[in-house]
Amino acid sequence: MHQYGLRDVERLLRLPRSTVRTLVEAGFVSPARGPRKAWRFSFQDLIVLRTAQALVAANVPRRRITGSVKQLRRLLPDSMPLSGLSIAAVADRVVVREGGSRWQAESGQYLLAFEGDPVDGSLSVIEHRPAAASQETSAQDWFEQGAALELEDPVAAKQAYERAIAADAKLLDAHVNLGILLHEAGKLDAAERAYRRAIEACGGDPVVLYNLGVLLEDLEREGEALQAYQAALRGDPGLADCHYNLALLCERLARPKEAIRHMAQYRRLVGTKGDR
């Protein structure tokens, strides 16, 4: 069974890490653990995460969400069906279509979407194939090819991101994805160089600074990580994941007041709700 990393979940579901973490901590999914204790999500986990997030956003009580996603998970296939999968809101139920069949999973009249227009009431999970490169391939084309190749061919994805940056040194998304790809591959020094190049080319973008802070923590350079997180929050005080990581780092550095402040800010930003 194919498994997805946290980066894959962010890209496929377009959910920030703070939201994924909140849904996992709430018990909606229980991902496996991979190398370095990284979360590994199944195809079912992806569907359940997106469903749970849609219901949370609609202010559905947690007990009802838990029952709904358990039922949905029981009926989902273990992997991507060849015929594709679509989910649509019909009245007060979520209707799942798999090939020529359709079945219902108890939830509510809420929109679920991995991609596409979020107002059409449905989603489709479809495999993407990168377009063939041409001599006129633009920086954006190279970036999109890299994003499409990440799961099946990380080496080719890295090359595509590098070509995107060569074509447009200020293409921030390519810098970010390249740094994350190298980081997840364990190439920490190369990832740091990628983030430093991004800062030189694009300035102190908060996301780049946050990712650099995560990397510096993995390199056990905690003082530099602290500075990177603080710089990220100066650029975007609403970066919830940065407050979360900074809270844990301050706790390790025996700075309890700062740890409490950043954890409180993280909780305010993610707006975690209890049972209703």
Q: What is the pLDDT of residue 116?
A: 34
From first to last of its 276 residues, the chain has per-residue pLDDT tens of 567 788 777 777 667 777 787 778 777 778 888 776 778 888 778 777 776 766 666 665 666 666 666 666 666 655 554 345 555 444 445 555 555 555 554 432 322 333 333 334 344 443 333 444 444 678 888 888 888 777 778 888 899 999 999 999 999 889 988 998 899 889 999 999 999 999 999 999 998 999 999 999 999 999 999 999 999 999 999 888 899 999 999 999 999 999 999 999 998 887 743 333
Do 121 and 143 fall within a single domain? no
Same domain, yes or no: 101 and 173 = no
In a shared domain, residues 178 and 249 = yes
The pLDDT of residue 74:
66
Query: What domain range includes position 74?
Result: 6-125
Q: Classify residue 134: in a domain, yes or no.
A: no
Q: How many domains does the chain have?
A: 2
Specify if 276 maps to a domain: no
Please indicate, yes or no, whether residues 87 and 163 belong to a single structural domain of this protein.
Answer: no
Residue 160 in tokens? 């595509």
What is the C-alpha to C-alpha distance for residues 161 and 140, in angstroms, rounded to an integer?
9
Looking at the domain assignment, is residue 131 inside a domain? Answer: no
Q: Give the H or E element holding residue 94.
A: strand 93-98
pLDDT at site 148: 75
- Provide the b/e sequence for 171-191 (b: ≥16 CB within 10 Å): bbbbbbbbbbbbbbeeeeeeb
- Write the CB contacts of 242 (distance below 8 Å, at least 6 apart in sequence): 206, 210, 213, 229, 232, 233, 236
| Distance separating alpha carbons of residues 38 and 185, to the nearest angstrom | 12
- Specify the CATH number for the domain of residue 120: 1.10.1660
